[in-house]
Structures are given as C-alpha cells and as structure tokens.
C-alpha cells in the first residue's frame, strides 16, 4: 500500500469514527442517537464506555499494521497490542449487552454476530501471539481489525444505501418520510459492512498466501 493512500485511509477511518462519536462527547443522554431503554438505567453509561474503548481499539489498531513501526518499536507494538485486545474485550462485551436492548431483530442479530466475531477473532490473534505463532497471529489480527472496521464501512455505506433506496422507490420518500428510510437502511448497513469487509480481508489474505 502506498504511503499517501495509507495516510488517506487512516484519516478517513479516524474521521468517520470521530463524526459518529461526536454526539457522545457531551455525555448528555438527551443527545444519544441510540434509543435508550428506560428499563435499563445503565444503558447510556454502557453505550459511552463501549464507544470509548471502541475508539481506543480503532486508533491503537491503526499503528499495528505499519511494518516500520513494528520493526523499530517492538515494545510499543506489544503494549499497543495489549491495549487493542483489552479494549475489544471490554467494548465487545458491552456491545453484547446492548444487543439485548435493540428492538429490531434484524439489527440485533447483526450486532450479535459482529460482537461475537470481534471477540473471537481478537482472542485467537492474542493467543497466537502469546504462543509465538506469529504467522497465525498476523492473519487473525488482520481479521480482527477488519471486524473493527465494520464501524467505518457500515457508516460509509449509508449514503450509497440512500441513493439506492431512492432509485428503487422512484426518487420518492416512503410514507414514513426520511425517518422511515433511514430506519430501514440502519436495519441492513451492519450486515452489508460485515459482508464487504470479510470478503475483502479474505481475498487479501488469499492473495498473500499465493505469493
């Protein structure tokens, strides 16, 4: 990957994440874009802690794939790796808790699948590093980060889904207006992001094994 493209991709990843995280910086539950369940008093706290650790995972993970960084600063690679794994374990478990409070079954199943894949791929990658099986460690970390990046791809897909939705509805909004359109899109964007990221990452890994 070219240096310029790498910088562009990193800025895009951090930019999309920051835009999503922004409403939660105020720590004001009234600004939550997630519908909070009144029967779960800690819903907002769980959401904010999930977001905090997810952001740490997203940013710490970015450094890990830079070959020169890894070779020059192995002790930083190890420390950031531990931070990445611990953040995902916490954020992923909180993600699992929140899936219990998602009304839509389609959306809940998407987050459930995503949480489990996040925890499993990251844990496997960590165990391979501990056992000094570094080839397998690299492969599973790439898979883990591809799952982390669903947070980015699922959001980048939304404008494309809006265009497709409008095109398929003769450029008319549904009876429920813009809100209904967005709600319908948010039912499927995680599934699409997950599918696209997993196909891209497996294609990339397959290409690597052929060389």
Q: Which of 139, 147, 157, 161 binds ligand HEM (CB under 6 A)?
A: 147
Q: How far is the CB of 193 from ligand HEM (least distance, A)?
A: 9
User: SS3 for 25?
Assistant: coil
Distance CA 151, CA 54 (A): 9
58 binds ligand HEM (CB under 6 A): yes
d(CA 111, CA 108): 5
Per-residue burial over 3-15, b = 16 or more CB atoms within 10 Å of its CB, e = otherwise: eeeeeeeeeebee
Window of 3-11, 94-102, 132-140, 167-175 that interacts with ligand HEM by CB under 6 A? 94-102
- Which residue's CB is nearer to ligand HEM, number 21 or number 73? 21
- Taking the least distance from each CB to ligand HEM, the nearer of 51 and 80 is 51
Instruction: Tell me how far CA of residue 170 lies from CA of 23, 86, 163, 164, 166, in angstroms.
Output: 33, 47, 11, 10, 6
Tokens of 136: 């397998």
Q: What gap in Å lies between CA 160 and CA 5, rounded to an integer?
A: 22
Indicate which single residue of 13, 51, 142, 201 sits in contact with ligand HEM (rule: CB under 6 A). Answer: 51
> Closer to ligand HEM at the Cβ: 64 or 115?
115
Query: Per-residue string for binding with ligand HEM, 102-131, x by CB under 6 A?
Result: x--------x--xx--x-------------
**Using rule CB under 6 A, residue 158 touches ligand HEM:** no
Other beta carbons within 10 angstroms of residue 24's beta carbon come to 20
- Confirm or reject binding of residue 20 to ligand HEM (CB under 6 A): yes
Residue of 51, 128, 42 lying closest to 95 (CA atoms)? 51
Of residues 85, 146, 151, 192, which one binds ligand HEM by CB under 6 A?
A: 151
**Binding residues for ligand HEM, per CB under 6 A?**
17, 20-21, 33-34, 50-51, 54-55, 58, 92, 95, 98-99, 102, 111, 114-115, 118, 147-148, 150-151
């Amino acid at each position: 990957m070219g240096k310029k493209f790498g910088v562009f991709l990193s800025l895009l990843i951090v930019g999309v994440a920051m835009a999503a995280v922004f409403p939660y910086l105020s720590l004001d539950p009234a600004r939550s874009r997630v519908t909070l369940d009144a029967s779960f008093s800690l819903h907002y706290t769980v959401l904010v802690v999930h977001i905090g650790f997810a952001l740490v995972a997203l940013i710490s993970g970015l450094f890990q794939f830079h070959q020169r960084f890894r070779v020059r600063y192995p002790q930083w690679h190890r420390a950031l790796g531990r931070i990445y794994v611990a953040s995902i374990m916490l954020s992923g478990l909180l993600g699992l808790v929140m899936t219990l409070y998602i009304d839509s079954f389609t959306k809940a199943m998407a987050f459930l699948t995503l949480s489990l894949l996040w925890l499993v791929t990251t844990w496997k990658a960590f165990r391979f590093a501990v056992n000094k099986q570094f080839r397998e460690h690299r492969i599973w970390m790439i898979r883990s980060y591809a799952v982390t990046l669903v947070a980015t791809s699922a959001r980048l897909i939304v404008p494309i889904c809006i265009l497709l939705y409008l095109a398929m509805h003769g450029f008319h909004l549904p009876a429920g207006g813009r809100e209904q359109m967005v709600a319908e899109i948010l039912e499927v964007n995680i599934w699409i992001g997950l599918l696209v990221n997993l196909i891209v990452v497996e294609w990339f890994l397959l290409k690597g094994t052929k060389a």
